[in-house]
Amino acid sequence: MADVKPVKAHCNKCFQETNHDLLHRDVIKGNEYYDGSYELQWSDTNEMIRCRGCDSVRLRNTYWFSEWDGAKVTYYPPSSSRRPPTWLDDVPEDEKTLLEEVYAALHADSLRLALMGARAACESLIIDKVGDQGDFKRGLDALCEKRWINDEERVFLQQAIDAGSAAIHRGFKGSHEDVTHVLDIVESLYQRVYVLPKATAELGKRVPRRPLRKSTSTPPAP
């Protein structure tokens, strides 16, 4: 039976911190002596919790060690820090899978992997739309020539690609804010290239045409 008092935790479906019922708790504790006199203590706590808003269930692991400042808390599945766009299913399967892997890296707090994946997502789109141009500069040139992007969008994309390259070659990790900006750019590119053309065409088919105006002018006298 769930505890009456709820616990606070982030919910991946509600996408905010909500009240959770504690369904089960398992605690393992231990201690040992260092140099025969100094005692070290630890505890490993696993809790199954259920959101009171959407009923989704997660596992929360809390590991405490007496030599640490605070405890390490891990959730399974990991906490989602960015909601995937609603149009993701409209993206081709290979590119969709790439973006999903980027989100998975972000949720696991693997910021370098997220930046590398965002760079790979840009490269995949370029190859899909204008072929392998040999490098990013020529790829972006081709996207502009084919009018998939404009000059301003090219600047943004170059910044996103540079961040991914720095993560690969120069150990750049970046902050959550940096990764958020990069994904904003990549998602905007994907939506513009893959989603909006089709959505706009379908909208145009549904919108009724304006009726032709009847002429109100008086015909000239014979």
Distance CA 131, CA 178 (A): 29
Supply the CATH number for residue 149's domain. Answer: 1.20.120
pLDDT of residue 162: 95
Residues 168, 193 share a domain: yes
If asked whether residues 134 and 165 sit together in one domain, one would say yes
Please tell me the distance from the alpha carbon of residue 79 to that of residue 128, in angstroms, as a whole number. 32
Average pLDDT per consecutive 10 residues, the chain (222 residues; last block may be shorter): 76 88 94 81 94 94 92 85 88 93 87 94 94 92 93 93 94 89 94 89 84 69 63
What SS3 state is found at 210?
A: coil
For 119, the 3-state DSSP assignment is: helix
Q: What is the pLDDT of residue 16?
A: 85
Residue-level pLDDT at 220: 65
In this structure, the answer to whether residues 97 and 199 fall within a common structural domain is: yes
pLDDT on residue 218: 64
The verdict on residue 136 lying in a domain is yes
Looking at residue 217, its pLDDT comes to: 64
- Do 72 and 180 have their domain in common? no
70 and 102 together in one domain: no
Please indicate, yes or no, whether residues 105 and 198 belong to a single structural domain of this protein. yes
Contact 70, 62 (CB under 8 A): no
Say whether 79 sits in a helix, a strand or coil.
Answer: coil
Whether residue 82 is contained in a domain is answered as no
Residue 170 maps to a domain: yes
Crossing angle (nearest 10°) for helices 111-130 and 93-107: 170
Q: Which amino acid, 134?
A: G
192 part of a folded domain: yes
Contact 99/88 with Cβ under 8 angstroms?
Answer: yes
| 39 plus 128 within the same structural domain | no
Nearest by Cα to 156 from 167, 140, 169, 145? 140
Is pTM beyond 0.75? Reply is: no
Residue 92: inside a domain: yes
22 and 65, same domain (yes or no): yes
- Output the pLDDT for position 117: 95
Q: Give me the sheet containing 57-65, strands edge to edge.
A: 7-11, 16-34, 38-51, 57-65, 72-76
**Boundary residue ending a domain (76, 97, 127):** 76
- Residue 204 has phi, psi (to 5 degrees) of -60, -30
What would the two tokens of residue 53 be?
A: 């808003």
181 shares a domain with 108: yes
Same domain as 111, residue 72? no
Number of compact structural domains in the chain:
2
Q: Which residue has the tokens 């088919």?
A: 205
Strands (E), 52-194: 57-65, 72-76
Same domain, 159 and 102: yes
In a domain, 210, yes or no: no
Residue 213 lies in a domain: no
Residue 54 and residue 127 share a domain: no
Domain that holds residue 51: 7-76
3-state DSSP assignment of residue 139 = helix
- CA dist 216 and 222 (Å) reads 18
Nearest to 130 by CA among 115, 120, 141: 141
